[in-house]
Structure 1
Amino acid sequence: MTTAVFLGFIVFSLYLAIRSKKGHGAQSVHDFFVASRQFGAYLVFFLAAGEIYSIGTMVGFPGGIYAKGPTYGVWFLGYILLAYPLGYFLGPKIWQAGARYNAITLPDLFKGHYGSRALELIVAGSSILFLLPWGQLQFTGLVAALKGLGWEFDPVYLVLISAALAFTYIAISGVRASAYIAILKDILMVVAIVATGVAVGWKDGVGDVFHAASLQVSNQMNDTQLRFSMSTMLFQALGFYVMPFAVQNFFTARSANTIRRTQVAMPLYMLMYPFLVLASYYAISQNLQLASPNEAFFAAAVRLLPDWLLGLVTAGAALSGLLVLAGICLAIGPIVTRNLLPGMPEQRQKQGAKVVIVVYLVLSIAMTLATPNLMLTLINTTYYGVTQFFPGVIVILFSLKVRPMAIALGILSGQGLAIALYAQQADFGGINLGLVSLAVNLLVTVVANYAPRLARVQPA
């Protein structure tokens, strides 16, 4: 029954992808990647939520609490809630900048504002580099979800099937397919999470589960853990909406006001997190022996839910990962065909992007099979690089005049330092390494921007 329900929802998702193309004929590059800037508030809302509440919500969050205790949840919830106000104010400006420069990708914004080919290449190349772990994150989550639900397939087959499905969604109608499937995915994900949390409370009682779990994990943070949580919230909130796929999602909206309306409603999704915490505490309280902490939520679901509902949980988890994977691919494809290979005719960009997407999926699969990691590591690695775009994006959004060389040096300094500090396991008393690197990024940008002007000032 579990498999039948799961396959039924996967088939239905393919139907939605096909349905999304109806009435749009042969899609242009702008329609394929950003829906010709035609999406209303509902589609933008589900598309954005589909990227935010991904497989990491059902796998990474409970897995982190299982492995590291409830203090992990403070960081996870905090950075998302802190990001939403930023999205409300910056999202409409990102849309306006995209319309001004007829942008499809994040590097298009840098190209349009700064007029620098070198800076465009730096943003394009590092976007691709730092999104590789994000793709690996989705595959890792999908493998953990399906194995946690008792599907004893070789991980090779699981990731290959997942990659094939993600590519199929994209090939049918690009971002339109993602938006339609996101509606189904969100319904399934919320139902799966709430049903599992309710089942825990119904069986063992909320108070008893929390008490039993508290005997095994600490609810206290020391000073170092507190500094790490607070600095990580700030750092990742700044990077949240400069992710290449997040920027591209904003470009699909019909107007700047459409973005504001979606951001107001986004926090409603946070209501499902108490149910995730309950499932995580259940796994801890029952001393469930897991192959990986990432299986915590699904171990609770397998024990407590009937087969048909377990099929719904499986479908929700799978679509959560597949949708984000498709979004990453839709961001990386045009970055290569528009920014790294700018001479490619527009009519060939869509087909070229599909080839790039296949290559990206293959690389992500190889990384997943070779270096499986706890999701927190993969999330941090992407943010270390992507958040360094933040100063350059702010300059674009507020139409400031800053030398492109200064922005380029700042980005490269921040990314290089973040990687070096991470490799050396440097410790700044718990302060997130990425935030330290972002501060250096800003310093280098300011110095590189004003130093030539100061050098031209002659003494009296």
Structure 2
Amino acid sequence: MTSQAATATTVFAVFMLATVVLGLAAVRGRTPGGGIADWSVGGRSLGTVLIWVLMAGEGYTSFSYLGAAGWGYNHGSPVLYVIAYMSCGYAIGYVVGPTLWAYARRHGLVTITDMVAHRYGRPWLGTAVAILATVCLLPYIQLQITGMGVVVSTISYGAISLNWAYFVAFAVTTTFVVISGLRGSAWVSVLKDVLVIATLGFLAVYVPLHYFGGYGPFLDRLTAEKPAWLTLTGHGGSGLGGAWFATTSFLNSLTVVIFPTTVAGYLGARSADTLRRNAMLLPFYNVLLFVPMLLGMAALFVVPGLKGAESNLALFKLVVDSLPAWAVGVIGVAAALSSIVPMGVFMLVIGTMWGRSVLGAVPALAGRQDRQKVAAQVVVVVAGALALLMTYTRPDTLVRLSLISYEGMAQLVPMVLIGLVWRKLTLWGAVSGLVVGGTLVCWLVFTGHDPLWGVNAGAPALAVNLLVALAVSRFGPRTADLRPDDEVLAADPGPGGEPEGPGGALSVPGATLGND
């Protein structure tokens, strides 16, 4: 091992140890043996700062360092859709987040599957949504494992193999998630965000100055030599034009607010006002995403000719040979933590959904939050181990599933959002729309029709989903009315941001809160 590799590897090891210690310290002073609510949503006690770093952490994955730079390198401007949809999603979340938080708090719910099962009065529906969400989330766990492996192997100058790096990602994440749950992920997010802001801020200044003499010369050269990278269709005839950009930004902004990991962040908040403040602050974090995108385009001139997956290393190719080993190690740690934090939340959410909505139906677990928590922790380990195994043996299997992750989760929008604010959406209307929309999006994606006529395939599938849901609700079989004890919630909190109304609940006019 060279001295550079030893230095970078030591820096990485020290920070990984600090990550585990910080994650475990999150449960210090908490009541031992708490139930699944304390583990999965932090006892609904996280304030503005922890919610901000946690939800920002979900947006800053290994994609921020690898994929964003790779997209910038290969295509250019189309990658800006990430900033567009995340910013729009935060705006939508200003309304949706407090609504979901209020509904869950009123009825003691801790996952999106809980909400669906409660809203439509069918436990089997929660199980079905848990399975669908797991299929959509497992690829993200594998992608984070793969991303961290690539980062660690690169910043260690090849001293740490990909296989060992994959295992480290799994081991570190599983350790603190199983023990400390959402609160541990939030605490680790603080360390991650400090490093992300520091390293990307440094690279935003260093790379243009070091390689081009400043932003002026870099942008002049970019516009003169690579103008295709500054168009919306981008370089290489990708077909990612204006219609694709608009529909993808719109679809993803709707999807991100009901994505199970986002909902976990909502439900961990102390109050509805915490979520509103968070929605106003999160877009500022998006400014940092411009950095890897621009650096990916800067790499076109410094390390030309990167092909395929190698282009995802465009940012690291700029720094490995020009910065001291300790600095490379710190930047690598920031990128590694950008894999660990979202991976931890993905694993946590899968465990919670199965602990509550699938295994929670087992008589021995029904109504026992302590046992459901143990079951969820076991599922966390199993889900992470499955993703790790697939990374080693069949890396392309889950990657192919990732193609439909966002488009597939988008098909839950009518069932979740419309179902909460429109009581006339029936069980069979919601299910029929989900089945038709999900089937259509799978067919379009796996037959190579995405984009479809320049439009994100998930958008027409969602439109058909909505039409079917409304038609079946209007003309299809009717279901029972709401139970007498179900009440409509109020949108605005009472004094101090606390819920008003019976049972301490917030509400949304017209919302339905129980069985059809």
Q: Same fold (TM over 0.5)?
A: yes
Shift of residue 376, structure 1, vs aligned partner: 9.8
Q: Is the counterpart of residue 446 in structure 1 residue 452 in structure 2?
A: no
3-state SS of 2:41 partner: helix
Aligned to 1:326: 344
Residue 97 of structure 1, CA deviation: 1.1
Q: Give TM-score scaled by structure 1 length.
A: 0.93
Work out whether residues 150 and 162 of structure 2, in 8 Å CA contact, stay in contact via their aligned partners in 1: no
- CA-to-aligned-CA distance 1:148-189 (integer Å, 9 cap, x gap): 323354322221121111100112311111111100000111
Cα 1:275/1:452, change in 2 over 3 Å: closer
Query: 1:371 offset after TM fit, Å?
Result: 5.4
Question: Aligned pair in 2 of structure 1 residues 17, 221: CA closer, same or farther (>3 Å)?
Answer: closer
Counterpart mapping for 1:9-408 below 5 A = 9-26=15-32, 27-68=34-75, 70-149=76-155, 150-203=157-210, 204=212, 205-214=214-223, 215-216=225-226, 218=228, 219-222=230-233, 225-290=241-306, 292-341=310-359, 342-343=361-362, 344=365, 345-370=368-393, 372=395, 380-398=403-421, 400-408=423-431
Q: Distance in 2 between matches of 1:425 and 1:440?
A: 19
Shift of 1:366: 3.4
Bigger drift between 327-336 and 350-359 goes to 350-359
Name whichever structure is richer in helix by fraction.
1
What is the distance in 1 between the residues matched to 2:191 and 2:137? Answer: 25
Counterpart CA distance in 2 for 1:274 and 1:383 is 22
Q: 1:224: Cα distance to partner? A: 5.8
Question: CA–CA distance in 2 between the matches of 1:241 and 1:20?
Answer: 26
Quote how far apart the aligned CAs of 1:377 are.
Answer: 7.0
Shift of the 396–248 alpha-carbon distance from structure 1 to 2, 3 Å rule, reads: farther
- Amino acid corresponding to residue 303 of structure 1 in structure 2: D
Corresponding residue for residue 502 of structure 2: none
8 Å CA contact retained: 2:135, 2:401: no
Distance in structure 2 (CA, Å) of the matches to 1:263 and 1:339: 29
Checking the alignment, whether the CA contact within 8 Å between 2:139 and 2:399 is kept in structure 1 is no
Query: What's the offset of the Cα at 1:269?
Result: 0.8
Structure 1 vs Structure 2 CA RMSD: 2.2
* Residue 212 of structure 1, CA deviation: 3.6
Segment of structure 1 superposing worse, 276-285 or 327-336: 276-285
Q: Does 1:410 align with 2:438?
A: no
The one-letter code sitting in structure 2 at the alignment partner of 1:411 is L
Could you tell me whether the CA contact under 8 Å between 1:43 and 1:180 is conserved in 2?
A: yes
User: 1:10-40, CA deviations, whole angstroms, 9 ceiling, x for partnerless residues?
Assistant: 2222221122111103122111111111111
Q: How many residues align?
A: 453
The alpha-carbon deviation at position 374 of structure 1 amounts to 13
1:20 and 1:194 map into 2 onto residues whose CA distance is 28
Distance 1:287 1:310, change over 3 A: closer
Amino acid at match of 2:219: F
Task: Give the C-alpha shift of residue 217 in structure 1.
Answer: 5.8
Instruction: Measure, in 2, the Cα distance between the counterparts of 1:317 and 1:221.
Output: 27
CA distance in 1, matches of 2:165, 2:447: 34
CA distance in 2, matches of 1:371, 1:263: 38
C-alpha spacing 1:372/1:289, structure 2 compared with 1 (3 Å): farther
- Hey, what's the Cα distance between the residues in 2 that align with 1:232 and 1:136? 23
Give unmatched runs, 5+ long, in structure 2.
1-6, 234-238, 479-516
Q: Is the 8 A contact 1:155 1:369 kept in 2?
A: no
Q: Which amino acid letter does the alignment assign opposite residue 111 of structure 2?
A: T
Within the candidate set 396, 405, 422, 2:445 is matched to: 422
Residue 147 of structure 1, CA deviation = 3.2
Q: Which structure 1 residue ranges, 5 or more long, are not aligned?
A: 455-460
TM superposition shift of 1:367: 3.4
Supply the AA of the counterpart residue of 2:442: I
Distance between the aligned counterparts of 2:102 and 2:475, measured in 1? 31
Output the CA distance in 1 between the equivalents of 2:15 and 2:457: 41
Partner of 1:457: none
CA deviation after TM superposition for structure 1 residue 289, in Å: 4.8
Q: Deviations over 1:378-433 (max 9, x none)?
A: 75421021111111111343252321111111112111111111111125211111
Deviates more, 1:88-97 or 1:142-151: 142-151
Q: The residue matched to 1:76 in structure 2 has which SS?
A: helix
**Higher relative contact order structure (alpha carbons within 8 Å, sequence separation ≥ 6):** 1
Measure, in 2, the Cα distance between the counterparts of 1:211 and 1:25. 59
Structure-2 residue corresponding to 1:458: none
Distance change (3 Å), C-alpha of 1:303 and 1:213: farther
Q: Deviations over 1:302-353 (max 9, x none)?
A: 1332222211111111111011111011100121121012232322212211
2:404 alignment partner, SS class? helix
Letter in 2 for 1:221: L
Aligned pair partner of 1:8 in 3, 10, 14: 14
In 1, Cα distance between equivalents of 2:111 and 2:68: 29
Change (3 A) 1:377 1:225: farther
Q: What is the one-letter code of the residue matched to 2:386?
A: L
Q: Counterparts of 1:433 and 1:226 in 2: how far apart (Å)?
A: 14
CA deviation string 1:51-94 (max 9, x = no partner): 111211111111111122x2222212211121111011111111
2:458 to 418, 428, 434: 434
Q: Is the 8 A contact 1:213 1:284 kept in 2?
A: no
Question: Using a 3 Å threshold, how does the CA distance of structure 1 residues 213 and 304 change in structure 2: closer, same or farther?
Answer: farther
Letter in 2 for 1:366: L
Structure 1's 208 and 373: CA in aligned 2 closer, same or farther, altered over 3 A?
farther
Matched-pair contact (CA < 8 Å) for 2:138–2:398:
no
Whether contact under 8 Å (1:198, 1:275) holds in the other structure is no
Once structures 1 and 2 are overlaid, which stretch shifts more, 128-137 or 218-227?
Answer: 218-227
Letter matched to residue 295 of structure 2: A
- Equivalents in 1 of 2:457, 2:285: separation in Å? 29
Partner of 2:483: none
